[in-house]
Amino acid sequence: MSDCIFCQRDRLEIIAENELALAFKDSCPVSEGHCLVIPKRHVATYFDAGPEEHSAISILIGEVSRILNRDLSPDGYNIGANVGEAAGQTVFHFHIHIIPRYRGDVADPRGGVRKVIPNRSCPLRDSK
Ligand code: 5GP
Ligand code: ZN
């Protein structure tokens, strides 16, 4: 799709690819090494991709983690997709965020992606 930024491959800093998927650096990284993995085909959300694309994306997520482990040695990862405006999606070409995490990057990391809605921590597991 010509007006989609993720379809303009020459503008992306691509770090890995396979037949159906691409991995590139996020231009506004949440943490050092933040990458996105997308299907090469323009589809809007996670649920619009087919099983072969999901498989290719999954393989590429593994490759990206090996590259980031080698280059940055993160202590953990958050991996996930925003699906729809209500969930925070801003670019409507399906992408998976790979966000490397580093010990001490936030005061209390417990709960991770649960914290997309603040103040809903599970008292026994997510907070001190
Ligand atoms: P969303 O909010 O849709 O889940 O995530 C969109 C992501 O795309 C954000 O993390 C944002 O920083 C990234 N992004 C937006 N525009 C560009 C761009 O032109 N190039 C790259 N590489 N990433 C972008
Ligand atoms: Zn696109």
Annotated domain spans of the chain: 9-126
97, 34 contact by CB (below 8 A) = yes
* 127 CA from centroid of ligand 1 (Å): 30
Please give the single-letter amino acid code of residue 67: I
Torsion angle (degrees, nearest 10) of CA 89, 91, 92, 93: -120
CATH superfamily of 9-126: HIT-like (3.30.428.10)
Sheet arrangement for strand 35-39: 14-17, 21-25, 35-39, 96-101, 76-80
Phi/psi zone of residue 45: left (φ > 0), alpha (ψ -120 to 50 degrees), beta? beta
Question: Is the CB–ligand 1 distance for residue 85 below 6 Å?
Answer: no
pTM score, two decimals? Answer: 0.95
**Per the structure block, which two tokens stand in for 2?**
């010509």
pLDDT tens digits for 87-126?
A: 999 999 999 999 999 999 999 999 999 999 988 877 666 5
pLDDT tens digits for 33-79?
A: 999 999 999 999 999 999 999 999 999 999 999 999 999 999 999 99
Q: Is the pLDDT of residue 127 over 60?
A: no
Residue 80, classed as helix, strand or coil, is strand
Please give the single-letter amino acid code of residue 101: R
* 40 CA from centroid of ligand 2 (Å): 8
Select from 28, 34, 37 the residue to mutate for testing ligand 1; criterion: most ligand atoms less than 8 Å from CB. Answer: 28
